[in-house]
């Protein structure tokens, strides 16, 4: 009797969706980028950097993992934008085959417990205990893992450092058995299902989080007004949306220096990501109350 072959040409090939969830700033996007081996999700030290569901694709000889990077579950901000982000989190967990729940080593509080209450009981949840490289006393890790095992019926618990890549292969190995037997959904060299227009907007928004003060990035968003190809040159015109006129002045900076820095660093990242030259023109526009405006949010990709 011969084994059945799937469309990948090998018996028993696995393929499925895996949500990466957790409270803000635990390292979900950094973990996704490390799992994929390339940057597909923007990162910063500020919370709420990720606002959309972003799929990153890892294909190896045995399996195809479609990792879903979700926004950090919001407990502090209460506008319509944050409600939409939380909806993305809960919807994503219903649509996947497995869940990776990310927490920070030695830090487990009410914000994490709120996410635990959302975890599905009908599919495997793997706990990734991140940032173990920052632990001063590694002997405290095992008691912490034992404590976490009592919080939820995790399918596996894997301590990792997303930044350093420590134990990331072990995390992949822990998830693999829970993927269903399916042929791959994407070709081998694809790493994300998001198009360049979306990635361009995200790279600009990342610079807002990295280069501006603590509060301003939360009042901004990015719209790609035009994205065209002229031979090998990508010509991109983008608008940074702010809530108030004084925020516009801060984003532009004295003599336009801040906006120039935002555009220059975003353009360099785009050229690296897209593998070609980019012409980038960025404007700043004021639209009061955009984060509570359903029509604006829909135009930004929220349903």
For residue range 190-211, list pLDDT tens digits in order. Answer: 888 778 888 898 889 888 888 8
**270, 234 Cβ separation under 8 angstroms:** yes
pLDDT at 300: 62
- At 59-78, the pLDDT tens digits run 999 999 999 877 545 445 55
**179, 96 Cβ separation under 8 angstroms:** no
pLDDT at 82: 57
To 5 degrees, how large is the angle CA 25–CA 41–CA 173?
85
**104, 131 Cβ separation under 8 angstroms:** yes
Closest to 31 measured CA to CA, from 168, 150, 138, 146: 168
Classify 234 as helix, strand or coil. Answer: strand
Tell me the mean pLDDT in the region 136-147.
Answer: 94
How far is residue 223's CA from residue 297's CA, in Å, rounded to a whole number? Answer: 11
How far is residue 184's CA from residue 14's CA, in Å, rounded to a whole number? Answer: 8
Task: State the average pLDDT for the chain.
Answer: 83
Check whether 182 has a pLDDT greater than 50: yes
Closest to 224 measured CA to CA, from 203, 244, 245, 248: 203
Check whether 95 has a pLDDT greater than 80: no
How far is residue 243's CA from residue 221's CA, in Å, rounded to a whole number? Answer: 9
Closest to 227 measured CA to CA, from 283, 298, 280, 284: 280
Closest to 53 measured CA to CA, from 6, 21, 100, 14: 21
Residue 166 carries which DSSP code?
A: B
pLDDT at 215: 61
Check whether 99 has a pLDDT greater than 70: yes
Q: How far is residue 286 CA from its own chain's centroid?
A: 27
Check whether 302 has a pLDDT greater than 80: no
pLDDT at 277: 96
Give 4's pLDDT tier (boundaries 50, 70, 90). very low
- At 207-265, the pLDDT tens digits run 888 888 666 656 788 888 999 999 999 999 999 988 888 889 989 999 999 999 999 99
- At 100-121, the pLDDT tens digits run 999 999 999 998 998 898 888 8
How far is residue 182's CA from residue 62's CA, in Å, rounded to a whole number? Answer: 11
Neighbours of 120 (CB within 10 A): 14
First CA to last CA distance, the chain:
50
Closest to 217 measured CA to CA, from 245, 251, 249, 246: 251
pLDDT at 164: 95
pLDDT at 214: 63
How far is residue 279's CA from residue 288's CA, in Å, rounded to a whole number? Answer: 29
Edge to edge, the sheet with strand 14-21 lists 54-59, 63-69, 14-21, 98-104, 125-130, 156-159
Closest to 220 measured CA to CA, from 282, 129, 143: 282
Task: Name every residue whose Cβ is closer than 8 Å to that of residue 241 and which is 6 or more positions away in sequence.
Answer: 220, 221, 222, 223, 285, 286, 287, 290, 296
Check whether 153 has a pLDDT greater than 80: yes
């Amino acid at each position: 009797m011969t084994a059945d072959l799937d469309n990948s040409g090998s018996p028993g090939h696995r393929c499925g969706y895996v949500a990466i969830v957790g409270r803000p700033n635990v390292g979900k996007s950094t973990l996704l980028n490390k799992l994929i081996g390339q940057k597909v999700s923007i990162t910063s030290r500020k919370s709420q950097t990720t606002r959309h569901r972003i799929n990153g694709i890892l294909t190896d000889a045995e399996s195809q993992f479609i990792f879903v990077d979700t926004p950090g579950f919001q407990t502090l901000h209460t506008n319509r934008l944050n409600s939409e982000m939380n909806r993305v989190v809960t919807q994503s967990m219903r649509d996947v085959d497995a869940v990776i729940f990310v927490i920070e080593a030695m830090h487990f509080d009410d914000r994490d417990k709120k996410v635990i209450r959302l975890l599905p009981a009908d599919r495997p949840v793997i706990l990734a205990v991140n940032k173990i490289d920052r632990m001063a006393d590694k002997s405290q890790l095992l008691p912490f893992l034992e404590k976490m095992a009592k919080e939820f019926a995790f399918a596996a618990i894997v301590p990792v450092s997303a930044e350093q890549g420590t134990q990331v292969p072990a995390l992949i190995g822990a998830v693999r058995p829970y993927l269903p037997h399916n042929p791959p959904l994407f070709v081998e060299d694809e790493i994300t299902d998001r198009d360049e227009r979306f990635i361009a907007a995200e790279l600009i928004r990342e610079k807002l989080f990295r280069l501006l003060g603590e509060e301003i990035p939360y009042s901004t968003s990015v719209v790609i007004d035009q994205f065209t190809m002229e031979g090998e040159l990508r010509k991109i015109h983008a608008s940074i949306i702010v809530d108030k006129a004084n925020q516009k002045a801060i984003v532009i900076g004295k003599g336009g220096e801040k906006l120039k820095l935002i555009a220059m660093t975003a353009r360099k990242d785009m050229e690296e990501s897209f593998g070609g030259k980019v012409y980038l023109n960025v404007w700043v526009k004021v639209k009061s109350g955009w984060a509570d405006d359903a029509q604006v949010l829909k135009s930004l990709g929220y349903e």
